[in-house]
């Protein structure tokens, strides 16, 4: 009897390992496809700036389809970072069948249309901004997983450098 339980355990464990391997392959394909969309190496994303959904860790904020999304953008570096008026914000959905990312239109209109500067971390000034977006999504009865990306430029002595920085976060939009 103990041998049968042991064999069942081994079979279940083997199935779980196989599922995890398949999941990792899909995840790698997903991230490889994402890399083709952004002008910044993946290793540099979420390094100097961080994008997050406020209150997500406590479950307070759950964005819904048709509503504005508010995100926190934090400068994690000792450099001034400047973003375009729309924060270089892009939103994407991943299509598992085609293994491609689909851009989601941002219906938000940013005003005034001027660059947004985030000061270096720890200088007692503004090292955090709130960013809003309005995803152009169709109503559905299922939650939608979406990736939000922002891209800015490092400034030195008031002048833009060639170095772009960016951040992304994955969020779930509720029906």
What is the tens place of the pLDDT at every residue in 45-93?
999 999 998 876 556 778 899 999 999 999 999 999 999 999 999 999 9
Per the DSSP assignment, residues forming a β-bridge with 145 are 172
Is 75 part of any domain? yes
Q: Above pLDDT 70, what percent of the chain?
A: 81
What is the tens place of the pLDDT at every residue in 13-43?
344 444 343 334 558 888 888 988 898 988 8
Is 44 part of any domain? yes
Q: How many residues does the chain have?
A: 175
Structural domain that includes position 108: 37-173
Q: What is the total count of domains within the chain?
A: 1
Token pair, residue 72, equals 């926190």
Burial of 133 (0-12, 13-18, 19+ CB in 10 A): buried
Is 30 part of any domain? no
Q: Is the pTM of this model over 0.85?
A: no
* Mean per-residue pLDDT, 139-167: 94
Is 139 part of any domain? yes
Distances (CA, A) of 107 to 25, 35, 36, 95, 148: 33, 24, 24, 21, 14
């Amino acid at each position: 009897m103990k041998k049968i339980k042991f064999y069942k355990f081994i079979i279940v464990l083997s199935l779980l390992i196989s599922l995890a391997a398949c999941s990792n392959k899909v995840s790698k394909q997903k991230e490889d496809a994402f890399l083709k969309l952004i002008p910044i190496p993946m290793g540099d994303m979420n390094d100097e700036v961080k994008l997050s959904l406020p209150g997500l860790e406590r479950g307070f904020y759950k964005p819904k389809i048709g509503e504005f999304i508010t995100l926190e953008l934090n400068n994690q570096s000792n450099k001034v970072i400047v973003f375009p008026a729309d924060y270089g914000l892009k939103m994407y959905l991943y299509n598992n069948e085609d293994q491609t990312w689909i851009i989601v239109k941002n219906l938000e209109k940013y005003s005034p249309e001027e660059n947004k500067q985030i000061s270096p971390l720890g200088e007692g000034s503004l090292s955090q901004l709130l960013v809003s977006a309005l995803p152009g999504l169709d109503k559905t009865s299922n939650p939608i997983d979406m990736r939000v990306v922002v891209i800015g430029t490092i400034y030195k002595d008031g002048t833009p450098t060639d170095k772009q920085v960016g951040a992304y976060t994955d969020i779930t939009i509720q029906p």
